[in-house]
Chains A and B, each alone.
Chain A
Amino acid sequence: MDLPLQTWIQAIINGLAMGWLYVLMALGLTLILSIMGILQLAHGEIYMIGAYIVFVLARQHGVNLYAAIVISMLVMAVFGAVIERGLFRPRPGQDPVLPAIVISTSLTLILSSFAVVSFGLYEKGLPKLVKGSFRVLDVAIPRDRILAVGISVAMLLVVYLFLKKTRRGQAMVASAQNREASYLRGINPNHMSRLAMMIGCALAALAGALAGSILVLNPSMGGLPMIKGLVVIVLGGLGSVPGAAVGGMILGLIDGVVPVVFGATAAALAPLILVILFLLFRPRGLFGHE
């Protein structure tokens, strides 16, 4: 590969920056999956709607971008509580898996259509988190991507500390590990499910807002990050916060470096090949447990 060193460095930095957005997506998905036992297929659309809420607040009503992001996270957290109670909470004795697939697929279509009708098909842009780039070793590093990394890392730490250090977080972990046993210990699994959905939706809204500021908004923007989030879970392991971080970094590096070195086609295939290999040879991922 006859590429200058600066190009390699640039590719790695780009990849790691985008990887942290995947981490946010994966974190929400993995919480929901491990605690509720369902895959929220509309998570990408939550991400998209979260970004559009920021657009409406920041672009159309002049709200400060960062305040708009916080409001969007809160709104989507409430939305998460509503859909958990109204759509995803299984009835006693009911297998939650199949209804969840049908419901979340329907929710995907509903939210996408809502976005098209409300915001139109054309791309929109959010204000930049921060403008410009700076140079290190003759490499241009976009400031907004670095700030997005900082916000994502901070949020990851918050979630990690919440799960490890707070009673409610530990209750969530217990519920994820053994729903029945935790119920006997006085932990209401429905409350844990609601909390997981709220946190997951808020994280998706944050990821959507950050991505919307770095890239652009459109009603189909949630599809690819959803897939990336799932890939991160497979790589990192279900329910593992460090796994989500490492999985996101691996995927980010693939996305950043492979297209530069091997081209666009290889970049599209590489994560899927990796997922297949993991599912075949290490289905619990890097940090998942038996």
Chain B
Amino acid sequence: MRTWSRIGIYLACALLIVFALGVGGCGDDGVPSSSETTAAPPTSATTGGGSTDTTGAGSTDTTGAAGEVKELVVGTVMPMSGALSVVGLSWNRGYDLYAEKVNEEGGVKIGDDTYTIKVLKEDGKGQADSAGAAARKLIQDGATVLFGEVMDGATAAVYDVAKQNGVLHVIASANTPGNPADIGADKDLLVRLSNSFDDAHTADLDFLKEKYPDVKTIAVSQPDVGFEGQIEDFTAAAKERGFEVIGAEKWAFGISDFVPTYTKLLSFQPDAIFIMVSAQSPYQLQAARQLGFTGPILANSPMGPEVHVRVAGPEACTDFFCNGINPSEPTELMADIMQRYEEAFKDEWISDCLLAWDELWILVQAMQKAGSTDPAAVLAALGSMTNVGDVKTSFGDARMGGMERFGVNRALVRPVPISLIMDGEIMLQGYFESANR
């Protein structure tokens, strides 16, 4: 009996260790958790005149002598370990690629000065405490703009730090407009330079109605970490178009076997399924098809359709559409970014990278318009860029909006792609109007 007690205690200890490793993602994703930088090239070769600022990070002083070469230091707080590390990795790659492009060209002109870009990275782990600590470290290291995180609680923690330090905060991905992590009139230093997932609701539902006129009922699959606001938004938009949302099923964040979830979801007997904000939509697609569901499935994840085909398999990928781009039909700029990605990382393409590229690019556009890197001036400039074409993105002409929903024009409004997959073949259906207002 003594031996068994020992083994029991031993197993309990081991379980705790394994559980801790599992929850913590083991820090094993091969992505350094310490600050990592995208080095700017020597600035002496980039501009003709002016002195080079060698003081390193954080040189956002715009009061200096005209024609100086400076460094814009941005900090990214992204999940670089754990279940969301894939997302963090692809976003960081996008920031890196844009910074490298700017630096290759000798920097960007902002006001009288030329700025190269330096990207510092810290691991937010998708958790509030880690993200807050990461944000503080980045500011200590000289970051004057913060990007991230992708989880609501972590994003709110980053904003708290940004606000305390008077630093501009760019939301990497807003999951639930109206929640504490999203923009609002009371958040002086917060801006969202990417679409919210629910911006695609109306475009997706219109496409569903047009393409599948027999669909009357929809069931929703959602993560168990919030998103009630989006459910309400989607339900209302669906009702306006004559659909009925007959049920929603939550799943635990990080799972990969969705068969139990879809067993329950399919008991609602929907005509169509809506996969909400999920990087795991390929698993879900696979589960739904395995359980014999043959109706249309839509996902508002920006994840590329090619990832769905690669992971779920071509046999599962039919009557499925999502808001990722078709990499075989990119815009000219997307093609350039994809080529840079291939050369830099020699890894499979993932389109989240475009969103990060656009964020940093739009920030630079606003700084150029403001002629300054001062947060208040940049936000004022962004708030005035409300006509289509005022903002350029890799998805096409865009603008800033959000006044109706948030009371401030600090949300990006850009075209929403819809890609349809039939029998494993991806077909870009076009770029549609965002629902952001």
Please give the residue numbers on chain A whose beta carbons come within 8 Å of chain B beta carbons, in ascending order. 3-4, 6-7, 10-11, 14-15, 18, 33, 39, 41, 44, 97, 101, 105, 108-109, 112-113, 116-117, 120-125, 128, 131-133, 135, 140, 142, 144-145, 214-216, 218-221, 223-224, 226-227, 230-231, 233-234, 238, 255-256, 259-260, 263-265, 267-268, 275, 279, 283-284, 288, 290
Contact = CB atoms under 8 A, between A and B. Distances in A.
Nearest to A278: B8
What's the dominant secondary structure at chain A's contact region? Answer: helix
10 contacts: A11-B260, A15-B260, A121-B89, A122-B307, A122-B350, A125-B311, A131-B315, A140-B291, A230-B11, A290-B1
Q: Which of B18, B250, B263 has the most CB of A within 10 A?
A: B263
A15 B291 CA distance: 14
A260 B26 CA distance: 29
Given A7-B263, A41-B18, A233-B11, A113 B4 contact: no
Contacts of A255: 257, 260
B85 A109 contact: no
A11 B265 CA distance: 12
Interface string B311-331: 111010000000000000000
Given A112-B28, A264-B250, A279-B11, A215 B291 contact: no
A108 B26 contact: yes
Contacts of A233: 11
A96 B283 CA distance: 40
A216 B312 CA distance: 8
A279 B8 contact: yes
B256 interface: yes
A11 B290 contact: no
Interface of B: 1, 4-5, 7-8, 10-12, 14-15, 17-19, 21-22, 25-31, 83, 85-86, 89, 224, 250-252, 255-257, 259-261, 263-264, 266-267, 282-283, 286, 290-292, 307, 310-313, 315, 347-348, 350
A234 B15 CA distance: 11
Nearest to B89: A121
Given A11-B263, A125-B310, A133 B290 contact: yes
A105 B4 CA distance: 23
A165 B85 CA distance: 48
Given A112-B28, A221-B256, A216 B12 contact: no
Given A122-B86, A128-B315, A227-B15, 5 more contacts: A121-B85, A122-B350, A132-B315, A220-B28, A238-B7
Contacts of A238: 4, 7
B1 to A, nearest CB: 6
Contacts of B28: 108-109, 112-113, 116, 219-220
A113 B81 CA distance: 12
A283 B4 contact: yes
Q: Which of B4, B18, B26, B312 has the most CB of A within 10 A?
A: B18
Contacts of B17: 41, 101, 105
Given A125-B313, A216-B282, A259-B260, A230 B18 contact: yes
Contact of B267 (A3, A14, A112, A113): A3
A6 B263 CA distance: 9
Given A121-B89, A219-B29, A265-B252, A14 B15 contact: no
